Amino acid sequence: MRKFVLALALLSVPFSSTAFAQQQQGRGTPDEQKACTRDVQRHCRSVIDQGDFTILACLQQNRAKISAACDQVLKTHGQ
């Protein structure tokens, strides 16, 4: 779960002060976490220990399979 939270931090790259503060805390917003947790567990469980960029890449590779909510989180953060 910690790796997932860190992956969401990577999605929080926008330059707003709120997003920057969240990134510094090492987590996405609670809504972002909720939106993608199930998708990470379902589609990216095998790579969850391989680092944040790997999890993000996995979500992108499985984009057709992930939930609309998680897809929106990725789009919102330019992924």
Q: What is the pLDDT of residues 22-68, one digit of tens each?
A: 443 445 789 998 999 999 999 999 999 998 889 989 999 999 999 99
Q: What is the pLDDT of residue 35?
A: 94
Q: What is the pLDDT of residue 44?
A: 96
Q: What is the pLDDT of residue 2?
A: 60
The pLDDT of 3-32, averaged and rounded, is 56
**Is the predicted pLDDT of residue 76 greater than 60, yes or no?**
yes
HEC profile for the chain?
A: CHHHHHHHHHCCCCCCHHHHHHHHHCCCCHHHHHHHHHHHHHHCHHHCCCCHHHHHHHHHHCCCCCCHHHHHHHHHCCC
Q: Whole-model pTM above 0.85?
A: no
